[in-house]
Structure formats: C-alpha cells, structure tokens
A and B are shown apart, each in its own frame.
Chain A
Amino acid sequence: MTLKLGIFYLLAAFTVWAAAVVVLGKNIVRAAVALIFTFCGVAALYVLLDAEFLAAVQVLIYVGGITILLLFAIMLTSRISSATARVINDQVVLSAVAAAGLLVGLIYAATQGIAALSGPPRLPETTRFLGRALLTTYALPFEVVSILLLAAMVGAIVLARKE
C-alpha cells in the first residue's frame, strides 16, 4: 500500500528531525521537549506496525513519566535561564565507532534481511498475548529486568545521597 508507505516516511522524517534536535540542540530544556516529540513519533510508528499496546505504553511511560522526570531534574539541577549543554563530549571516537557499527548492522538487516526478524506475526489481541507471554514463557527475563531496574534505582539513590 503506497499511502501507508508515505505515512511511514512522513513519520520517520518527523522522528528523525526531532531526534536530531535532541542530540544537536544547545538548550537542554528544548532538547527534552524535542525528546517528547521523538517518543511520540516512535509511538506512531508502533501503531503503523499494529503494536497498539506498545505505542500506548510508550506514550504513558516515556512521555508521561520519564521525560517529565527528566524535565523536573533539569529544572532542579541547572540554572534554567542559561541551560546550555556541550553537544560534543569526550567520547567522540568510541561513539562514532558504535554508531558506524549500528549503521552497518541496520543496512545489512534492511538489504539482506535477518531470519529472526522476518515477518511479524499477526496477533488479533496483542495485549492478551503480551500478558500471557510475559507471565509464562518470558517470566524469568521479565523478573531479571525488574531486579536490574531496582538495582539501578538503589544505585542512583546511593550516588545522589552523599552523606
């Protein structure tokens, strides 16, 4: 369907533009606002891939939770009127290598195709399926990720509280 492809390109261009503002913007708060639009664009791409549940959760968690916390943290820690950031930091070489590797991988996946990625399964009810899968087949990875998040949270609190 060509129209769907057109919508995809529009959304992709919007997402990439917003992401570019996030990475290249000098103003931290503006970058955070652009991050919100990036997440919304990604959510729209999920809808285009028939993953409504993922899209709604993306908006709820990333936009409604994480970005707002991010903005909150920015407002608490820096002087808002002159909130500027260094765009390029010290790990240029390392990040360039990582980005180039990712680009090669993506180009390979797009042109050659990877067996594990081909053909998304058509699920009538993604929510029910996801719930069952997370609590039966993937219960262990799910719990491991939860514990990892908990550990990260405790670590953040320990680092933030100096006394």
Chain B
Amino acid sequence: MITFAELCEQLYAATSAWGLPWLVPTLVVMGVVVGFVIAYIAVASMFMIWWERKISAHIQVRFGPMRVGGWHGWAQSIADGIKLLLKEDIIPARADKVVFVLAPMVVFAASLATYVTIPWAPGLIVKDLNIGLLYMVAISSLTVVGIIMAGWSSNNKYATLGAMRSAAQAVSYEVPLVLSLLGPVMLAGTMSMGQLVEAQGGTWFGFLPRWFVFPQAVAFLVYFTCALAECNRLPFDIPEAESELVAGFHVEYSGMRFAIFFLAEYANMFAVAAIATTIFLGGWRGPWLPIPGLPAEVARGLFGLVWFQVKCYFLIFVMMWLRWTLNRLRVDQLMDFAWKVLLPIAFANLIVTGLVLALWG
C-alpha cells in the first residue's frame, strides 16, 4: 500500500527528472490538497448544519427543514449557502476596516491549517509532523485571535463583549486542554498523529481494543469538555450568547463574511472531533473485511477511511446533542469550572499516568 508521502516523493522525483525546480510540484501538491480540504469542509459543513437542524428539531419534537430538495429537506443548507453568497456585504462605517476584513480570514485559515495533520486512513495524512498534535492545538488556538479581531473591529458593544468573553474563555480552557492531551502522549511516547494511531493497535485482554480512551477516560472527558469550550459550543457559548449578546462577536458581519465564520465553526468542530478520534478512539482502526477484487491493503484503507468518519461524526453528534439539551453557563461558573475543576483533574490524571508508567511501564 502506497502512502500519501511516498506518492508525493514519486511525483517530486518524476518532475525533477523533467528538469522542473522542486517548487513547481510542491505548489501543485499544495494546491490539490487545499482544494480537496476546502471542498471537504464545504460539503461536511453543509451536511453538519442540516444535521444539526434535524437533531435539534427532533430533540424539540419538531420536524426541522422538510421541503427544500424533497427528502427531509436535504438541500436546505445549499439553498442557505446560495442565499448568503448573494447577500450584500456590509462593513459598518465606524469599523476598523482592515482588521474587520482580516478577521474572518484568520479564523478560517486557522481551522483550515489544522487539517494538515489529520490521519484520514492508513497512509493518508498530508504531513505526519513529529509534533503533529502540538501543531494542531497551537494552530487551532489562532481562531480566538480572529474572534477578538472581529469583535473589536466591529466597533459594537455586543461584539466587543463577545470578544472579551471569548478571550477569557479560550485562555482558561487552553490550559486543561493541553494537559489532558499529554496523558495519551506519555502512553504513546510520541506526538506524531500517525504514530499515535499506530500505538493503539491490538487489544487488551483479547477483546478490548487498545484505544487510549480506556486507560485515559478522565483525560478524554477533560479534553472533550475543553474542546466544546474552544469551539464556543453550548454549554460554553457565552461569546455569542444569542439571548444577551444578540450574536456576540459576529453581530456586524453579513453575507459571505458571516458564512465564513459559520463555515469555520463547523470546520473547527470536525477538527476537534478528529483530534479526539485520533488520540483517544484509535483513529482509523476498526474491524475490516476483505472486499472481493481488491487487494487487502486497499480494502483496509477504505474501511479505515469509513471508520475515521464514523467515529468523528459520532463525536460531532454528541456535541450537537449536548448543545440542544444543556443550559448555557454563567461567566463566573465557566471560569470556576475551568480553573477549579478541570485543571486539578487534568493535573491529577497527568501525575497518575506518570506514576503508573514509572512503576509498571
């Protein structure tokens, strides 16, 4: 089975044989990857938005979108997307125009860049960095910068309040988030996303898959809670609380710029779910069957691709489920929870993991 990295190497070798400088194939590979990722994000976000509307509707004993496109309103997101594209782009007169225009780009670029180190299937990872996990966490923390830029440049009190809340929340929740990810990293002894999946092969006691969610259940819960906060999802959505801040940081945005914020939010949800799947749920690992007429490696790769998506969308479903069943936390409760509950738990988990590894590892 050929991996993506080997494929790129072969392409580079072939083009350098033709006498092209290595910049050309590199740019081609970059362009193709970015095209694929943007297409995936667009389609997946539209699906997630429709899915979220259906889930919220069913939780509230409604039907949700039913008409556009026929079956259960499946084309509703496409219609909404076209509507947003056609809407007028309004920049407030007293806004700081440069920062206002830059903000959605920063948010979207940050969520786009995290897709570089997602291991989609065996061998299918754009770049298996040594520090893959750290890179993903660091890059996704850039979203908050964009949110603050948006909130401040709008020159609107609701937007500014949303931005300040977002800053406080992000700084607080980043600490337990990083600490919770260290447990699995200690078990695997690596931060590369590919090797983290490799480390979860095999079973415990013959039946339990060797996923890190079992020994690191506490870390998984801490990570998932902090990830909800990083994505500004309920119960941690005070930066955009509709009932008090109208829509928070993006209240002044309209048309395509608003759509980009929306897209980035859903792209971020997927990225967070992908990290959780890779680190705690065994990534693309899962039972697979040989497909007649295909080599075993290809069949395993295809099953891996499907398993990864299934696990990610299960986690996304849990996020949506929580959003439509929990209440929003107050600001002080939010801070208390991060510093007085999550942080000590994350530290305790780290110490216990280190002790166990030192004594029996």
CA distance A60 to B110 in the complex (A): 12
CA distance A22 to B55 in the complex (A): 46
Can you name the residue of chain B whose Cβ is closest to the Cβ of A74? B152
A112-132 residues at the B interface, CB under 8 angstroms: 125-127
Beta-carbon contact of A81 and B155 below 8 Å? yes
Can you name the residue of chain B whose Cβ is closest to the Cβ of A29? B152
Chain A 67-87 interface 0/1 with B at a Cβ cutoff of 8 Å (1 = within) = 111011001100011000000
Q: Is B313 at the interface (CB under 8 A from chain A)?
A: no
Q: Is B168 at the interface (CB under 8 A from chain A)?
A: yes
Beta-carbon contact of B167 and A68 below 8 Å? yes
| Residue from A27, A56, A57, A68 in contact with B145 in the complex, judged by beta carbons closer than 8 Å | A68
A56 neighbours in B (Cβ, 8 Å): 131, 134-135, 138
Task: Tell me how far the C-beta of A127 lies from the nearest C-beta in chain B, rounded to whole angstroms.
Answer: 6
Q: Is A42 at the interface (CB under 8 A from chain B)?
A: no
A60-B145 in contact given A33-B99, A72-B171 (Cβ < 8 Å)? no
Task: Tell me how far the C-beta of A44 lies from the nearest C-beta in chain B, rounded to whole angstroms.
Answer: 12
Beta-carbon contact of B141 and A64 below 8 Å? yes
Q: Is A18 at the interface (CB under 8 A from chain B)?
A: no
Task: Tell me how far the C-beta of B357 lies from the nearest C-beta in chain A, rounded to whole angstroms.
Answer: 14
| Residue from A30, A60, A67, A68 in contact with B178 in the complex, judged by beta carbons closer than 8 Å | A60
Beta-carbon contact of A52 and B131 below 8 Å? yes
A52 neighbours in B (Cβ, 8 Å): 129-131, 135
Beta-carbon contact of A65 and B174 below 8 Å? yes
Interface residues on A, range: 20 to 34
Beta-carbon contact of B149 and A33 below 8 Å? yes
Beta-carbon contact of A53 and B96 below 8 Å? no
Can you name the residue of chain A whose Cβ is closest to the Cβ of B165? A72
Q: Is A36 at the interface (CB under 8 A from chain B)?
A: yes
Beta-carbon contact of B138 and A59 below 8 Å? yes
| Residue from A59, A67, A72, A127 in contact with B164 in the complex, judged by beta carbons closer than 8 Å | A72
Chain B 177-199 interface 0/1 with A at a Cβ cutoff of 8 Å (1 = within) = 01000000000000100000000
Chain A 9-46 interface 0/1 with B at a Cβ cutoff of 8 Å (1 = within) = 00000000000000000010110010010000000000
A123-152 residues at the B interface, CB under 8 angstroms: 125-127
CA distance A27 to B155 in the complex (A): 14
CA distance A90 to B139 in the complex (A): 38
Beta-carbon contact of A71 and B141 below 8 Å? no
Task: Tell me how far the C-beta of A52 lies from the nearest C-beta in chain B, rounded to whole angstroms.
Answer: 5
Beta-carbon contact of B174 and A72 below 8 Å? no
CA distance A127 to B21 in the complex (A): 32
Beta-carbon contact of A3 and B145 below 8 Å? no
Can you name the residue of chain B whose Cβ is closest to the Cβ of A68? B167
Beta-carbon contact of B171 and A69 below 8 Å? yes
Excluding A3-B21, A68-B145, A76-B164, 12 further A-B contacts by CB distance (< 8 Å) are: A27-B96, A29-B152, A52-B129, A59-B138, A59-B139, A59-B142, A60-B138, A64-B145, A71-B152, A72-B168, A126-B130, A127-B191
Pairs across A and B, CB under 8 Å, 23 listed: A30-B99, A33-B145, A52-B135, A53-B131, A56-B131, A56-B138, A57-B134, A59-B139, A59-B141, A59-B142, A60-B137, A60-B141, A63-B138, A63-B142, A64-B142, A64-B170, A65-B141, A65-B174, A71-B167, A72-B167, A72-B168, A75-B167, A127-B191
A-B pairs, top 3 by smallest CB distance, nearest first, are A64-B141, A60-B138, A59-B138
